């Protein structure tokens, strides 16, 4: 295993934990970290949320949803 692969595995086993205010204020950095370092976690009191990048591999619908950047409505869920 290469050093890079080993680093990626270590990072994905120990995701960074962000508090809510930090995640809000540094949202673009949070997304970049999820894309480059694996899953990130956001703590909100006693709850923990996981943010994971799921690539929309050549999916026009996925690309559209990601480029629009808004929440999905009930009838817009892929499926």
Of 26, 23, 34, which is closest to residue 66 (Cα–Cα)?
Answer: 34
Q: What is the pLDDT of residue 54?
A: 81
Break the chain into its structural domains and give their ranges: 3-69
pTM here is: 0.54
Decide: residue 8, CB within 10 A, 0-12 exposed, 13-18 middle, 19+ buried.
middle
Highest mean pLDDT among 20-24, 50-54, 71-75: 20-24
As a whole number of angstroms, the distance between CA 25 and CA 18 comes to 11
What is the pLDDT averaged over residues 12-17?
Answer: 71
Which of the four CATH numbers 3.75.10.10, 3.30.420.40, 3.20.20.210, 3.40.1620.10 does domain 3-69 have? 3.40.1620.10
Structure confidence by residue, pLDDT tens digits, 33-62: 998 999 999 999 999 999 998 876 666 666
Q: What is the pLDDT of residue 49?
A: 94
């Amino acid at each position: 295993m290469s050093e890079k692969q080993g680093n990626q595995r270590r990072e994905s086993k120990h995701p960074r934990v962000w508090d809510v205010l930090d995640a809000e204020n540094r949202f673009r950095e949070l997304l970049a970290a999820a894309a480059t370092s694996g899953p990130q976690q956001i703590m909100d009191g006693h709850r923990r949320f996981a943010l994971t990048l799921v690539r929309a591999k050549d999916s026009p619908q996925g690309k559209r949803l990601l480029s629009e950047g808004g929440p999905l409505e009930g009838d817009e869920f892929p499926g």
